[in-house]
Amino acid sequence: MAQALSPSPFALEQILNSISMGLILVDANQTVCLWNGWVERHSGITAEQAIGRHISEAFEELPSRALLSAIANTLSYGLPVVLSNALHRSPLPLFERNEQEAEKKRIHQSITITPLDAEFGGRNCLIQINDSTTSIKREKILRTHSEMLKREATTDSLTGIYNRRFFDEHFKMAMGHAVRHHVPLSVFMVDIDYFKEYNDSYGHVAGDKALIQVAAAMRKQLMRATDVLARFGGEEFVLMLPNMAEDSAMQFAEKLRTAVWDLNIPHVNSRICERISVSIGCSSFFKHAESDANILLKCADAALYEAKKAGRNQSYYLPLQQFNSSSATTKDKPQKTASNQL
């Protein structure tokens, strides 16, 4: 079997100083025996200054307790130790090489501590140091990019509230939770009155601004993290409020309507009054035999239709038991929770 020739001490020194990782060798007394060029460059301490000193005294600052403890354990028990950058970002005072910046930045490090048998008995300890700064920066960029894509996938780009895709996914989960835990769930369909006429009068730029204002006014009414407001399409919005009973839903619908009304956005071609208003339809699920999420949504949409038919700028509550899913109409006259006929 062919064997590789052992490199000369001079060649070995060149190899150790040219590799792109830090190497420190300490003996059984934790005295530094090897200190390669990478460590010199990132510590500012030369090999001549470090070799022969205790590892805790070789740097300008004391290494972390975790590192010193790991070295002691490796020398005592002969077991390797890995200090990952996830838990130990900078165990050693090593810095990026950037002479243009006055403040030195610590390198994020991954450190492996390996026991080595000494030539004349005893045990040495090899400390291998990798610079994790670049990989951590890359990970942060990827995480930021991922979060941005997630926001784009679930958020309406104009108003900043959730989009319909997000609502559809979470509405089914919320309905399942309401059924399993026997808690109420209320849904609100909101439509800006005569919004086409608004766009015709003021232009689409003003229309976009009005949508943003309306969305912001309704979002301010939400008090819990589980409450969801989404843009359903065009000038229509939908809200889902878990654990909200019928009587509270009726009050909340009026609260939404008033919040938009109080914005006092001029609308000269509205057939209600010369400001923007909304019509709201709502319904609630609570221990009903029918647990289909689509039925509750259709019921709220039917209530919205009744609010518009009654003159708009209205809030109507339609009980789920009065709703016929096949015809999307009511058996009895829906309950009008609030109105503002002007």
> How far is CA 8 from each of CA 2, 15, 26, 150, 238, rounded to the nearest angstrom?
19, 11, 22, 56, 77
- Strand-pairing partners, residue 185, are 242, 285
* Rounded Cα–Cα distance for residues 210 and 231 (Å): 13
Go through the chain and tell me how many residues it has. 342
SS3 166: helix
DSSP code at position 55: G
Instruction: Enter the tokens of residue 327.
Output: 């015809």
DSSP codes, 288-342: -S---HHHHHHHHHHHHHHHHHTTSSEEEE--GGGEETTTTEESSPPEEEEE---
DSSP code at position 5: P
* Rounded Cα–Cα distance for residues 197 and 322 (Å): 33
For residue 89, what are the contacts with CB-CB under 8 A and spacing of at least 6? 106, 108, 109
* Rounded Cα–Cα distance for residues 69 and 77 (Å): 12
Q: Residue 282: enclosing H or E segment and its boundaries?
A: strand 278-285
Annotated active-site positions, please?
235
